[in-house]
Amino acid sequence: MQTLKNSMMTRTNEVSKKVQSALEHEVKRLKALLKISDYLGSTLDLDELLYRIMEVTREQLNADRCTVFLIDQERQELWSKVAMGVNQEIRFPMKKGIAGHVARTGEILNIRDAYADPRFNPEVDKKTGYRTRNLLTMPMHNKQNEIIGVFQVLNKKQGSFTEGDVELLKAIASIAATAVENASLYDELNRSFVSFMETLSTTLDARDYITSGHSRRVTLYAVQVARLMRLSKREIELIRYAALLHDIGKLGIPEIVLFKNKKLSDEEYNIIKRHAVLSKSILAKIRFQRHLKEIPQIAAAHHEKIDGTGYPQGLKGDEIPLGGKILAVCDVFDALTSRRQYKDRMDILEVMDILEKETGKSFEPFVVYHFKNITLNVLIEILEFGHKEDFKAEDLNLLRNYTLKDLLRIRKQGAKSDEEFRVAEIFMYYYQRKYRGE
C-alpha cells in the first residue's frame, strides 16, 4: 500500500516535471519570438530587414543557410538579396524551382534528402559548389492571407528539419511578414517620391534641347563620385536629391532669357545666375526629412568655386558643402560633353584639359581625382543615358576594367596592349556616334 502511494506520488511528480519543462520551453520560445519581433520590427530598410530575417532564421533553426525570396507580382518573379555580396540581387520566374512551387501553391515542403527528391534542381549546387542535404521551404503570408514571399532554409546542422522547426518557422514567418509589409510600404512611398523628383527634373530640362537630360546625368555622375568616396548611404541619398533638383530655380527665370540662343547681355546673364539662389529658396520650403535638410544649401552651391570666385555667395574652400563641390565638377563635365545641335561632342581630352586647369581654382582636387576613377562602362552609360538599348554587352564588359584616368593615359601616351587600344576605340565610338534624326 505504502509503496503504491509512493510510486503514484513519484509519477505525479514526474508528470508535473514534464509539464513544467514544457512550460519552461514555451516561455523560452515565446521570449525568443518577442525578441525577434522587436529586432525585425525596428528597421524599415528593406535590404537591412531581409538580411536580419535570414540571419535570425538561420540561427533559430540551427541551419547552415537561409534565403528569403519576395514576390514581384508585376513581373511574376521571385527575388532576393544575396546576403554575401553587396547589393547583389537574384531573380527568377515564379514558375521555377521549389521556391516557385511554394510561392504558387502555398505548400510547406520539408525535404529530408534533396537529391532523392525529383523537385529539387541540383543546378545551383553545381554552379556554386555547395552541397544541399535537406531543405525546408515555406510561404510567407500577409494579413490578407496573400503569399508575399518564401523562406528557404538549407542544411540543418544536425539531422533534418523537425516538426518543431516547421512550427518555429511558421511563427517567424508571420512576424517577418508584418515587417516586410511595412518596409515595402516605406520603400514604395520613397520610390514614388524619387520618381517624382526625377520626372520633374527631366521635364524641366526638356523644355530646352540644350539642357535636355542634364540634371539626370549630373545626378548619375554625382552618385558615382559619392560612391567612390565611400560616403554613407544617407550622404549619397542627400547628394542624389540635391543633384536632381539643383536647377529647379530655373523655374523662376523667364524662358525668354533662359532659352535665348544668341549671346547674353550682362544683364541677362545676371538674371540667369539667379537660378542658384532660387533653387535654394524653393527647396527651403520643402519639409525634407532630417538627414536631407542640407539639400537647399548643396543645390545652391553648384556654381561656387573653391577660390571664392563663384556665385551666389562666393564661398571659399570648405565653406562649400561637399555635395556642392561634387555638383560643380559634374555640372561642368556634363555641360562640356553635351551634344549641341549641328555639333559633335567636344573631344574628351579637351574636356578634361579644361577640368584640370580649373582644378584647385574652381574645383576641389579630390573630387576631380575621384571623378577620374569612374569606370568607362559607367561613364559611357551616363554620357549616353537614354540610349541604353544600343550598347553591346561585350563592349561594356571590356570597358568595366578601365577608368577615365586610364583612358586619358591611353589617349595621351598610347596603348600598352591590344586591349587598351580596343578600349579607347570602343569608348570613342560610343562617345562620338550619331543618331538618326540628330
Site residues, its own copies (CB under 8 A): 2, 9, 12-13, 16-17, 19-20, 23-24, 26-27, 30-31, 33-34, 37-38, 41-42, 44, 143, 174-175, 178-179, 181-182, 185-186, 188-193, 195-197, 199-200, 202-204, 207, 251-252, 254-256, 282, 285-290, 292
Q: Would you say 246 and 215 are in contact if contact means Cβ atoms under 8 Å apart? A: yes
Of 76 and 105, nearer to its own copies (C-beta) is 76
Please, what is the angle between helix 163-206 and helix 214-228, to 10°?
130
Q: How far is the CB of 325 from its own copies (least distance, A)?
A: 25
Of 195 and 232, nearer to its own copies (C-beta) is 195
Q: Own/partner pairs for 231-240, CB < 8 Å, 24+ apart?
A: 234/291, 237/291, 237/292, 238/291, 238/292, 238/294, 238/295, 238/298, 238/323, 239/298, 239/322, 239/323, 239/326, 239/327
Q: How far is the CB of 69 from its own copies (least distance, A)?
A: 21
Q: How far is the CB of 290 from its own copies (least distance, A)?
A: 8
Tell me the three state secondary structure of residue 260.
coil
Of 191 and 273, nearer to its own copies (C-beta) is 191
Q: How far is the CB of 9 from its own copies (least distance, A)?
A: 5
Phi, psi of 361 (to 5 degrees): -105, -70
Instruction: Compute, in degrees rounded to 10, the torsion defined by CA atoms 402, 408, 411, 417.
Output: -30
Of 166 and 251, nearer to its own copies (C-beta) is 251
Cα separation, 65 vs 241, whole angstroms? 37
Phi, psi of 156 (to 5 degrees): -55, 135
Of 14 and 419, nearer to its own copies (C-beta) is 14
Q: Would you say 288 and 259 are in contact if contact means Cβ atoms under 8 Å apart? A: no
Q: Would you say 66 and 154 are in contact if contact means Cβ atoms under 8 Å apart? A: yes
Q: How far is the CB of 216 from its own copies (least distance, A)?
A: 12
Instruction: Locate 223 and state its grid cell.
Output: 552618385
| Length of the chain measured in residues | 438
Q: How far is the CB of 55 from its own copies (least distance, A)?
A: 18
Cα separation, 368 vs 281, whole angstroms? 28
Q: How far is the CB of 19 from its own copies (least distance, A)?
A: 6
Contacts of 280 (CB under 8 A, 6+ apart): 249, 296, 297, 299, 300, 312
Of 53 and 404, nearer to its own copies (C-beta) is 53
Of 23 and 349, nearer to its own copies (C-beta) is 23
Q: How far is the CB of 256 from its own copies (least distance, A)?
A: 7
Of 259 and 391, nearer to its own copies (C-beta) is 259
Q: Would you say 214 and 247 are in contact if contact means Cβ atoms under 8 Å apart? A: yes
Q: How far is the CB of 141 from its own copies (least distance, A)?
A: 13
Of 24 and 55, nearer to its own copies (C-beta) is 24
* DSSP symbols for 398-419: HHTT-BHHHHHHHHHH--SSHH
Amino acid at 172: I
Q: How far is the CB of 409 from its own copies (least distance, A)?
A: 40
Of 25 and 400, nearer to its own copies (C-beta) is 25
Q: Which residue has the cell 591590344?
A: 418
Phi, psi of 386 (to 5 degrees): 100, -10
DSSP class of residue 374 equals: S
